[in-house]
């Protein structure tokens, strides 16, 4: 859902403007600026998408984005 609300996605080393995005059966369907053919769109299918940090909505207290947890020390109840 977070992806649907952002206007720019990074795929690989390149930013793409998002002309339109929506959820359909749990999958994000999008029209990206500069992706003009079906073949170009299929080449991006399954790619990892990133968004600028400032484009993410704030999370509720006690919740975190996965990127916020990378590098933290993990302790269990035994220490």
Mean local confidence (pLDDT), 54-69: 90
Residue 17 near residue 8 (C-beta atoms within 8 A): yes
Average predicted confidence (pLDDT) for the chain: 91
18 in a domain, yes or no? yes
Domain total of the chain = 1
10 in a domain, yes or no? yes
> pLDDT tens across 14-41, in order?
999 999 999 999 889 999 999 999 999 9
Q: Residue 58's domain is classified under what CATH number?
A: 2.40.30.60
Phi then psi for residue 37, to 5 deg, are: -125, 160
Q: List the domain range (segments joined by +) for residue 18.
A: 3-69
Residues 20 and 45: their CA atoms lie apart, in Å, by 16
- Among 7, 53, 45, 10, CA closest to 28: 45
pLDDT at 52: 87
């Amino acid at each position: 859902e977070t992806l649907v609300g952002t206007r720019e996605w990074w795929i690989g080393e390149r930013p793409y403007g998002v002309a339109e995005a929506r959820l359909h059966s749990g999958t994000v369907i999008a029209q990206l600026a500069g992706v003009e053919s079906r073949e170009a769109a299929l080449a991006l299918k399954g790619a990892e998408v990133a968004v600028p940090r400032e484009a993410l909505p704030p999370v509720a207290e006690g919740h975190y984005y996965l990127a916020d947890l990378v590098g933290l020390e993990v302790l269990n109840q035994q220490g």
